[in-house]
A and B are shown apart, each in its own frame.
Chain A
Amino acid sequence: MDLSIYFNLPLWLRLAIQGAAVIAVLFPIAAACSMAERKISAWIQGRPGPNRTVPPFLAGIPIIVPILQNLGLFQLAADGGKFVFKEDPIPGHVNKLYFVLAPILSMIPALTTISVVPFGAYFDKAGELVPIILANVDVGLLAVFAVASLGVYAIILAGWASNSKYPFLGAVRASAQLISYELSMTLSVLPVFLWVNVPGGMGTLSLFDVVQSQSQPGLWGGMWYVFLMPVSAFVFLVALFAETNRLPFDMAECEADLVGGFHTEYGAFKWSLFFVAEYCHMIVGSAVFVLLFLGGWNPLPWIPLSMVSDWLSLGDNPVLLGALATLIFIGKVLFFIFFFMWVRWTLPRFRYDQVMKIGWQKLLPLSIGNLVVYAVVIALLERF
C-alpha cells in the first residue's frame, strides 16, 4: 500500500484530517450508544425494545431489512433526523447567550479530550512501538483531567441560563457532584503513576507509557494494574460514573424529582448535543480506564501486543497491526460502555445527601489511604 501521497501533504492538513477522522468515528459511536442503551435496557427488562420503525420504501426487502429493523437502526436514523429537523424553540425567559452557548460548551471538552488518548500502537521500521494518537503529550492524563473538568460549565450555564427552578437545582447538584468526585478521581490514579515512574526516569504522565509498563515480560511486568491496584481501579470507576453523570449518580437530570434537571428547558438539536456529549465523556472515560487499568491494546494480561504480532508475524506491517491494536482497544471500550449501561439499568439512583456522603466520607478517605499505602510499599520495594 502506497501511503506517500498522504505523507506528502502539509503537516497542518494531515493533523486536520486525523482530527476530523477521529471525530467522525467518535461522534457516530456516541450517537449509536443511545440506541444501544435502549436495546440493552430492553434486554435487561425482558422486552424487545425499539423494533418497529422501517422506512416504507425498504419494507419489502427480505432478510437484511428485518434484521436492521430488529436492531432498531432505522429508529436511530429517525431519532437523529428528528433532532435535526424539528423546531428548536428558545423559551422567552432564558438568558439567550448562555442558553445557546451551553450545549456548544458541552461538546468542546467532550471532543477535545480524545486528542491526548492513545487508541492503538504499531511497530515502526526500527522496531519501536509507536502510539496511534492525535497529540502525544507528556502530561497526557493531566490534560484529559484538565479539559474534562471544563465540562462542568456547560451544566452550570445551562441550568443558570434556563432561569427556572428545576434546571437550576439540577445544575447546582450536578456541579457540586462533579467538583466533589474530581478529587477522588485524581487521587486514585496517583499510585499508578508512582508505580510507572521508576527512579531514574524523567517523570511522565503519559497514558502511552502506562500501557507500555503493563506490556513488559514477566509476572509483574505483564500484570494489568486492575490486579495490582484493585482499590485504585474501584475508586476511579466509581468516580468515573459520577463524573459522567451516569446512574447511580444521575444528579444532573434526576428525572424522578427534577423533570429533566439542567436541560429541562432544552429541546431538539441543543438537547441532543448534551446527550451526545454525555456519551462522548463515557467513551473517553472508558478509554482512560482501559489504558490505566486494563492494559490498553494488549489482548490479555501477560500477553502483550508484541507477542501477538510475533505469532501472526505482523511486525513489519504497521497498518494491519495498528488496526488490530485499535480493534482490541475499541472492543474493551465497548465492553465498558455496556458495563455503564448494565449498571444504569440495575442500580437505583442515590439521593443527593448519599452522593455527597459517598464522595467526601467514603471515596476520598479511601483514595487517600490507598495512595499512602502504595507510596509506602513502593518506597520500601525500591529500598530493598
Chain B
Amino acid sequence: MAPLLFYLLSALVLGTALLVVTSKNAVNSAMFFLISLLGTAGLFVLLDAFLLAAVLVLVYAGAVVALFLFIIMLLGMKGGERQPLSNSAVLASVVAAAILAIGVLSFVKHGQIAASVPDASAPAAGAVLKFYSAQLFTTYLLPVQVVGFLLLIAMLGVIVLSKRFEDMEKSK
C-alpha cells in the first residue's frame, strides 16, 4: 500500500509542479502549486511526519499560495494570462534544475546518511512534537536563526523597496 501511495503522490507532485511552470494562466499555475504542496504534505504523512505535513498545509497551502493568488488578482492580469517564458528564463531554469539534480544525486550516491540514523524503533523526528522541537532548539538552532534573520532582511527589503520615502524627507 505505502509504495503505491508513494508513487502516486510523487507522480502528482512532479506532474503538477511541471504544470505550474508550463501553464499559460497564472491562476491555473497557482492552483497547480497548491495541489503540488498538498501532495508533498501527503508524502510527509507517509513518512509519519504529521507535524510537518500540517505545518506545510497551514503555512504554504493555506497562506502563501493564497497571497500569490491575491497578488495575481491585484495585478489585474486579464483573465490571468501571462507572458510565455523567455528563452533566457528557460535556459536559466534548466541549468538550475541540472545543478539541483546533480546535488541530490551526489547526496544519494555518496552521502553518509546511514551512519547518523539511530535505531529504527525510535520514532521519526517529525512524528513526536517533543523530538521535533528539541531538534529545532539544539541541533538545528543555528540554521533556524539564520533562516529567521534572512526572512527579516527580506521583509525589511520589501518595506524599503515598496514604500516611498521621498515625501518624508522633504517634510523634514
A residues apposed to B, CB below 8 Å: 95, 98, 137-139, 142-143, 145-147, 149-150, 152-153, 156-157, 159-160, 163, 168, 171-172, 175-176, 178-179, 182, 197, 201-205
Contacts and interface: CB of A to CB of B under 8 A. Distances in A.
Interface of B: 27, 31, 34, 50-51, 54-55, 57-58, 61-63, 66-67, 69-70, 73-74, 79-80, 128-130, 132-133
A360 to B, nearest CB: 15
A35 B51 CA distance: 39
Contact of A137 (B27, B50, B130): B50
A146 B34 contact: no
A202 B130 contact: yes
B54 A146 contact: yes
A172 B54 contact: no
Given A95-B79, A156-B66, A159-B73, 5 more contacts: A138-B129, A145-B54, A156-B69, A156-B70, A176-B70
A147 B129 contact: no
- Sorted nearest first, the 10 A-B pairs with minimum C-beta distance are A149-B62, A203-B129, A146-B57, A203-B130, A146-B58, A142-B54, A146-B54, A139-B54, A139-B50, A202-B130
Nearest to B51: A139
Nearest to B56: A146
B73 A142 contact: no
B61 to A, nearest CB: 6
Contact of B63 (A95, A179, A197): A179
A246 to B, nearest CB: 20
Main SS of the interface on chain B?
helix
Contacts of A172: 70, 73-74
A160 B130 contact: no
16 contacts: A139-B54, A139-B129, A145-B54, A145-B58, A146-B62, A149-B58, A153-B34, A157-B27, A157-B31, A160-B73, A163-B79, A172-B70, A172-B73, A178-B66, A182-B63, A204-B129
B133 A203 contact: yes
Contacts of A152: 62, 66
A205 B57 CA distance: 16
B74 to A, nearest CB: 7
Contacts of B74: 172
Given A201-B130, A202-B128, A205-B129, A147 B57 contact: yes
A98 to B, nearest CB: 7
A142 B69 contact: no
A143 B128 CA distance: 15
Contact of A150 (B50, B55, B62): B62
A98 B27 contact: yes
A339 to B, nearest CB: 26
Nearest to A98: B27
B158 to A, nearest CB: 16
A149 B69 contact: no
Contacts of A160: 27, 69, 73, 80
Given A149-B61, A160-B73, A182-B63, A143 B27 contact: no
Contacts of A138: 50, 128-129
Contacts of B51: 139, 142
Contacts of A204: 129
Nearest to B74: A172
Nearest to B130: A203
Given A95-B79, A146-B62, A202 B57 contact: no
